[in-house]
């Protein structure tokens, strides 16, 4: 085992048990047609590494997409010593050791050529995908699918589709988005009624093709108010004519589409994953994927009307700001349909996870928590990221539950299995099983 083990003997014993279980990953950005990395550049290109290295002084031009993959990898390797204190670097080292037989303690300019050679699986195709899947003991990995994705060419019981709806809510006023919607649904969108028909046909298609969730990433200024019918009709008509919209009309369309999605989640019995907080392109000069930040002023209070209006819809919620954890705990404490979901993006750091994990397990019913998801772009990242969470979970269970409350090891492991396996399996079951 290549991961860092807990120092505490009790936590280590728990971790070793938990690490033997399969992984059920309810949110990723995996491409089901090419799920594992074919070369090391596809690993090093994960935005964590490029943005951290850029922040530490590497020019963005050194990882420009126009460069060949080997050159990008070598350029980045010269800067990895600046970020080897980070947890992201530890994931990289675990990937190298677990999947590529790397034996060194540093990935840098001196070792990159050998590691790049070891990680070359350009000729292995699906055999390499299967190898990474089996080594990681994956059970199911949820995808992030655009609304016009044909959802063909893979086993949807293992690579599970998820209807991602950011473009529908935030970009429906753009002609290209409307064209994609009409082309993918064969519905001529002319008014509010036909717009709902088109979106409803997406749900039907996705559910028929194995989807088990609808998801959206929302900016901090979004407030999901229920749209008014007359104002929505006027705004949609103006958008369909490609007219310039006033800010209130943009807001009306966003609210209309979002509320429609929630209604259809209720009809189709799909969870509605809400990922709240990112502001896009805050740092335009950054590397690809490293330009977005969060705004601490976001509040779940803005979603109270939504949660109350749709008690039959489960809302797995992720918040981007690390200091939003207490509010998510409070909403999950009170509202039966709000579920704390994983540890996302800037909150995906051990110090933040440990605090949130502890608060959730001490305050929120154990049957309504989803412990972790990978948010990975390649399969290789799922195991080290889950192992990070598993280690923190084992340390909490040993300290708080076994020594603190006198629980048996079996009882502590039952709690771990709930948040890592049983809860996500149940919450994201097929709609006909819900």
HEC sequence for 15-62: HHHHCCCCEEECCCCCCCCCCCCCCCHHHHCCHHHHHHHHHCCCCHHH
Please give the Cα distance from 366 to 143 (Å, whole number): 25
Checking if the pLDDT of 9 tops 70, the result is: yes
Would the pLDDT of 229 be above 70?
no
Distance CA 36, CA 130 (A): 9
Burial category of 150 from C-beta neighbours within 10 Å (exposed 0-12, middle 13-18, buried 19 and up): exposed
Confidence of residue 250 (pLDDT cuts 50, 70, 90): confident
pLDDT at 226: 83
Lowest model confidence (mean pLDDT) among 67-71, 161-165, 243-247, 340-344: 243-247
pLDDT of residue 70: 97
Q: For the beta carbon of residue 204, count every other beta carbon within 10 angstroms.
A: 13
> What are phi and psi for residue 56, nearest 5 degrees?
-90, 5
- Quote the pLDDT of residue 233: 74
Q: What is the pLDDT of residue 252?
A: 83
Is pLDDT above 90 for 384? yes
Q: Residue 230 pLDDT > 60, yes or no?
A: no
CB atoms closer than 10 angstroms to residue 207: 20
pLDDT-based confidence at residue 225 (cuts at 50, 70, 90): confident
In angstroms, how far is CA 100 from the centroid of its own chain?
25
Q: Provide the pairing of β-strand 293-294 with 278-279.
A: antiparallel
**Whole-number Å distance between alpha carbons of 318 and 320:** 7
| pLDDT of amino acid 214 | 98
Confidence class for position 231, pLDDT limits 50, 70, 90: low
Look at 222 and 233; give whichever has higher pLDDT: 222
How far is 94 from 380, CA to CA, in rounded Å? 9
Average pLDDT of 204-231? 89
Q: How confident is the model at residue 242 (pLDDT cuts 50, 70, 90)?
A: low
**Taking residues 348-367, what's their average pLDDT?**
97
Residue 379 has pLDDT above 70, yes or no: yes
Mean pLDDT of 11-23: 98
pLDDT at 245: 72
Q: Which of 1-10, 27-36, 121-130, 422-431 has the lowest mean pLDDT?
A: 1-10
Left, alpha or beta for 210 (phi > 0: left; psi -120 to 50: alpha)?
left
Q: How does the average pLDDT of the chain come out, rounded? A: 94
**Does 337 score more than 70 pLDDT?**
yes
Asked if 26 and 429 count as a contact pair (C-beta separation under 8 A), the reply is no
Mean pLDDT (whole number) for 134-143: 98
How much is the pTM? 0.96
Angle at alpha carbon of residue 129, lines to 127 and 132, rounded to 5°: 110
> What pLDDT was estimated at residue 190?
86
Q: Which of 233-237, 298-302, 334-338 has the highest mean pLDDT?
A: 334-338
So what's the pLDDT on residue 165?
98
- pLDDT grade for 371, boundaries at 50, 70 and 90: very high
Residues sharing a CB contact under 8 Å with residue 3, sequence separation 6 or more, in sequence order: 19, 94, 384, 387, 388, 391
């Amino acid at each position: 085992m290549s991961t860092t083990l807990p120092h505490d003997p009790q936590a280590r014993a728990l971790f070793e048990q938990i690490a033997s279980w399969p992984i059920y990953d309810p949110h990723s950005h995996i491409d089901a047609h090419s799920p594992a990395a074919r070369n090391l550049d596809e690993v090093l290109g994960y935005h964590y590494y490029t943005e951290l290295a850029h922040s530490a002084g590497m020019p963005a031009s050194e990882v420009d997409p126009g460069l060949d993959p080997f050159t990008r990898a070598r350029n980045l390797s010269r800067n990895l010593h600046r970020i080897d204190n980070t947890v992201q670097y530890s994931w990289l080292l675990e990937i190298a050791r677990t999947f590529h037989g790397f034996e060194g303690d540093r990935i840098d300019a001196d070792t990159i050529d050998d590691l790049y050679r070891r990680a070359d699986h350009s000729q292995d195709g699906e055999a390499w995908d299967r190898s990474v899947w089996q080594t990681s003991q994956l059970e199911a990995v949820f995808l992030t699918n655009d609304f016009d994705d044909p959802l063909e060419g893979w086993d949807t019981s293992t690579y599970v589709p998820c209807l991602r709806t950011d473009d529908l809510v935030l970009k429906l006023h753009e002609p290209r988005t409307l064209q994609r919607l009409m082309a993918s649904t064969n519905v001529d969108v002319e008014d509010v009624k036909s717009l709902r028909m088109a979106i409803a046909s997406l749900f039907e298609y996705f559910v028929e093709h194995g989807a088990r969730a609808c998801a959206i990433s929302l900016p901090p200024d979004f407030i999901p108010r229920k749209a008014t019918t007359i104002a929505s009709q006027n705004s949609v008509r103006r958008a369909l004519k490609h007219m310039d919209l006033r800010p209130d009309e943009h807001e009306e369309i966003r609210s209309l589409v979002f509320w429609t999605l929630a209604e259809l989640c209720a009809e189709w019995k799909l969870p509605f994953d809400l990922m709240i907080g990112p502001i896009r392109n805050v740092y335009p000069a950054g590397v690809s994927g490293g330009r977005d930040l969060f705004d601490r002023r976001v509040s779940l209070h803005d979603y109270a009307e939504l949660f109350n209006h749709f008690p039959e819809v489960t809302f797995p919620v992720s918040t981007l700001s690390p200091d939003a954890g207490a509010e998510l705990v409070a909403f999950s404490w009170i509202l039966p349909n709000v579920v704390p979901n994983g540890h996302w993006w800037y909150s995906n750091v051990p110090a933040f996870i440990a605090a949130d994990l502890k608060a959730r397990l001490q305050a929120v019913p154990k049957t309504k928590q989803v412990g972790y998801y990978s948010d990975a772009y390649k399969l290789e990242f799922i195991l080290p990221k889950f192992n990070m969470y598993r280690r923190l979970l084992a340390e909490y269970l040993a300290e708080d539950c076994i020594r603190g409350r006198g629980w048996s090891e079996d009882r502590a492991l039952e709690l771990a299995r709930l948040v890592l396996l049983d809860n996500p399996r149940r919450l994201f079951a097929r709609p006909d099983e819900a």
